[in-house]
Amino acid sequence: MLSLNVMEEELIGIKNTALSFILEAEDLETLEDVKLQFLGRSGKLTLTIKDITKIPPEQRKEVGILANEVKQTIEDAIKSKSESLKHKTKTVLRKKIDVTNPAILPPLGHLHLVTQAIEEISGIFEKIGFTRVRYPEVEWDWYAFTALNFPPDHPARDDWETFFVKSAPSPKYGPMILTPHTSSGQIREMQRVEPPVRMLNIAKCYRRQSDVSHTAMFHQFETLVIDENISISHLKGVLDYFAKSYFGENRKTRIRPYHFQFTEPSFEVDVTCGVCNGKGCRLCKEGWLEMGGAGMVHPNVLKAVGLDPEKYTGFASGWGVERVLMMKDGIEIDDLRLLYSNNLEFLKQF
């Protein structure tokens, strides 16, 4: 059994402690915590009141009266402090808010880095007469391979390289696929218009590749020029123009012999390193960075669309948008997959 004196001392101690905490509270949130600490279901005063049953019955009335007085005192103090804090908050707001000040605008988004690159590339080629086009992402095998001089057993036509669509094949054009390159746009453009052709085709492409420098979906931009008396010198001129416009006036290009099914002769295109200006460094090793492929349109490709290779010649190039973007000065991306992540900390930089 508890004694009357012990219970009274405990109740008075709770009252004094509670009033001290209430007085020190500087905001409504802290005041609410104090209320729960003393008057809540597990509060100190609530638990002490439950202990009244532990004192002799004849003394319980006197302790009960004291307990009610302590509870009422704490509640009144909390109410008074709450009104004081609310009034203080309103006064501060009235002093700080100037309705004539400009509003705080919400943050604005911006175009994705790849979209920015596509717009810049489009603008560069439009200045020299190229017309931007778009062709299907779901394509027929004939446009993507057969008409581009790929033999039936070429590795690119394997389902380990190309995504095939589960659909009935066309009797004329063969299986349905996700276009693996923008080069299929060459065929569609030459079917659509008579020479001269000045095409820029920028589109999504799909291949079964995924690592730090490849993604299953990526963007390519394809150039195609078809006319009479088109030569390699025209191709080299366009390459230099693009490199200087996109990478900077000091950048140069070179072409190296290579093999592509739809061009002959074919070339790999390199651009001078922007870090060392072609002198050689840890990034480029020998002063050059590989940009992509290009070449003179193969006579068989011209024949596939009914053009006379004795009369018309042309050149084509196909490069990855993400690849040239990663080669641009000031862009440091060591994993291509970052471009398609939801990492806002990375994306907001651009």
Write the CATH number for 335. 3.30.930.10
Reading the block at residue 102, the tokens are: 């400009």
Asked whether residue 217 is domain-assigned, the answer is yes
Percent of the chain with pLDDT over 90: 42
Same domain, 148 and 207: yes
Write the burial class of residue 298 (CB in 10 Å: 0-12 exposed, 13-18 middle, 19+ buried).
buried
Asked whether residue 102 is domain-assigned, the answer is no
Strand 263-272's sheet: what is its strand order?
Answer: 131-133, 197-206, 217-227, 313-320, 288-297, 263-272, 253-260
Reading the block at residue 291, the tokens are: 């940009």
Asked whether residue 107 is domain-assigned, the answer is no
Residue 165 is part of which domain span?
A: 113-347
Same domain, 233 and 343: yes
Residues 128, 232, 148, 156, CA torsion sign: negative
Of residues 238, 244, 217, 242, the one with CA closest to residue 316: 238
Of residues 201, 177, 168, the one with CA closest to residue 187: 201
pLDDT at 137 (0 to 100): 92
Asked whether residue 105 is domain-assigned, the answer is no
pLDDT at 57 (0 to 100): 80
Rounded Cα gap, residues 159 and 170, in angstroms: 18
Same domain, 283 and 334: yes
Same domain, 92 and 117: no
Q: Is the pLDDT of residue 92 over 60?
A: no
Q: Which of 63, 96, 129 is the last residue of a domain?
A: 96
Write the burial class of residue 277 (CB in 10 Å: 0-12 exposed, 13-18 middle, 19+ buried).
middle
Q: Which of 110-119, 256-265, 327-336 has the lowest mean pLDDT?
A: 327-336
Please give the tally of structural domains in the chain.
2
Same domain, 90 and 119: no
Across residues 288-311, what is the average pLDDT?
93
Same domain, 178 and 318: yes
Asked whether residue 325 is domain-assigned, the answer is yes
Rounded Cα gap, residues 320 and 182, in angstroms: 10
In tens, the pLDDT along 142-201 reads 999 999 999 888 888 877 788 999 999 999 999 999 999 999 999 999 999 999 999 999
Q: Which of 45, 63, 96 is the last residue of a domain?
A: 96
Residues with Cβ < 8 Å from 324, sequence gap 6 or more? 117, 121, 246, 291, 292
pLDDT at 1 (0 to 100): 60
Same domain, 131 and 280: yes
Same domain, 92 and 191: no
Indicate the average pLDDT of the chain. Answer: 86
pLDDT at 267 (0 to 100): 95
Q: Is the pLDDT of residue 278 over 80?
A: no
Strand partners, 223: 200, 317
pLDDT at 168 (0 to 100): 92
Asked whether residue 88 is domain-assigned, the answer is yes
Reading the block at residue 303, the tokens are: 């024949």
Asked whether residue 106 is domain-assigned, the answer is no
pTM summary value: 0.66
pLDDT at 119 (0 to 100): 95
pLDDT at 165 (0 to 100): 92
pLDDT at 94 (0 to 100): 58
pLDDT at 200 (0 to 100): 96
Same domain, 121 and 163: yes
Q: Which of 96, 126, 146 is the last residue of a domain?
A: 96
Same domain, 261 and 173: yes
pLDDT at 314 (0 to 100): 96
Same domain, 77 and 121: no
| Helices and strands per DSSP (H, E), number in the chain | 11, 9
Helix (H) or strand (E) holding 231: none
Across residues 80-96, what is the average pLDDT?
72
In tens, the pLDDT along 16-49 reads 888 888 888 888 888 888 888 888 888 888 887 7
pLDDT at 45 (0 to 100): 81
pLDDT at 292 (0 to 100): 87
| Residue whose entry in the numeric block shows the structure tokens 């992540």 | 341
Asked whether residue 192 is domain-assigned, the answer is yes
Same domain, 304 and 172: yes
